[in-house]
Structure 1
């Protein structure tokens, strides 16, 4: 009858290291699709009956609160997702915010579709995104050549690492003067394990 010789202390350490290395390699090859969804919204709520409905500072719609100026839910042009999008300039530059539950020392990936109001000819629509008041993305969109039927949406992605906060206020704001500005749609937030979103780790903004 064969007998199995017990592992020496050095051999046992080697086996443990091999197991740990295998786990790390498996994690490093994990699909980004396993990033955990935190929030997604395409500005479909409330469903509006008219082409454009304006909301002013202090008002709420869907999961968002208008923090400054005015914004408008619109069906007046092509949406990136669904039937509605958000014009960040109602009749003045505006901003909207949403409070997200966030974990300590966790990185988050945010993506959104960006275009510009095409109704006033060529325009450079500009704005920024903040997390707890800290700028995490600055954006611009040139409406030249775009129309309500062909908005030319581009998707932007950025990362931020939450350091100490149990919640993070994510805000999208227009810095474009006047009644024509940036348009956003299809906002998505996902939490990332360290190995799930490696492309953003070097550039993730740390947020207190």
Structure 2
């Protein structure tokens, strides 16, 4: 039990040693200035959105052009063509993580069904789709989705990619990454089990003393 408690305390300590590479800016609120048109196109390799790198062709960094899923910024994962974004952050090998995000679609043009691929390094991708029927720029119809992965190393790269081969792609916002359960929760559970075990041992010793 002592080893289990020490392991739990180690789990608490691990994330705090790597805060510089913690997952960040899942709402895309920190990024470059947006022009009067309400969005800015960012090309492959751009790191202008804090924490993220643009992949594929390009993306649109969207401000007032349409209703954000949360806050005031969001992403069209197809800029002038299908693109994507990725971020590398600290994880604990063997731990399961849930990625939660909001998905919508650019309502300005086809296809009607927008396709998004989500993948974490070392894991299988997940494909989700969004139908833009009955949506508008002022009513985007943001829908929550969850993607789960098991970290295989001390860092993981999470990538979102447009599967829509036009300039009117899937829209993304509100990304969060959470350990399942969080390391601190595991630690408290193990410490609690240790306390229960110690209490039971004391009762057994007291019972023998009264016998």
The answer to whether TM tops 0.5 is yes
Worse-superposed segment, 62-71 or 145-154: 62-71
Distance 1:80 1:194 in 2: 25
Distance change >3 Å, CA 194–CA 188, structure 1 → 2: closer
Instruction: Name the counterpart of 2:107.
Output: 118
Contact kept, 8 Å, 2:67 with 2:138, in 1: the verdict is yes
Structure with the larger helix share: 2
Deviation sequence 1:119-162 (CA, Å, 0-9, x none): 12661100201111643321100001100000000000121111
Deviation sequence 1:140-197 (CA, Å, 0-9, x none): 000011000000000001211113x11110000001011101000010001112897x
TM-score by length of 2: 0.70
The 3-state SS of whatever aligns with 2:124 is strand
Instruction: Name the counterpart of 1:34.
Output: none
Q: Which runs of 5+ in 2 are unaligned?
A: 2-21, 186-211
Contact kept, 8 Å, 2:24 with 2:51, in 1: the verdict is no
Deviation sequence 1:87-136 (CA, Å, 0-9, x none): 00001000110001110110101100000001126611002011116433
- Residue 146, structure 1, aligned to residue 135, structure 2: yes
Deviation at 1:78, TM superposition (A): 0.2
Contact kept, 8 Å, 2:95 with 2:151, in 1: the verdict is yes
Root-mean-square deviation (CA, aligned residues, Å) is 2.3
TM-score by length of 1: 0.71
Match of 1:174 among 162, 179, 187: 162
The 3-state SS of whatever aligns with 1:60 is coil
Match of 1:91 among 77, 80, 92: 80
The 3-state SS of whatever aligns with 1:41 is coil
Distance change >3 Å, CA 177–CA 103, structure 1 → 2: same
Distance 1:38 1:180 in 2: 27
Contact kept, 8 Å, 1:38 with 1:191, in 2: the verdict is no
Contact kept, 8 Å, 2:111 with 2:164, in 1: the verdict is no
Contact kept, 8 Å, 1:58 with 1:65, in 2: the verdict is yes
Instruction: Name the counterpart of 2:47.
Output: 60
Distance 1:181 1:133 in 2: 26
Structure with the larger strand share: 1
Contact kept, 8 Å, 1:100 with 1:169, in 2: the verdict is yes
Runs of 4+ in 1 over 6 A off after TM superposition: none
Contact kept, 8 Å, 2:82 with 2:166, in 1: the verdict is yes
Instruction: Name the counterpart of 1:44.
Output: 29
Deviation at 1:48, TM superposition (A): 2.8
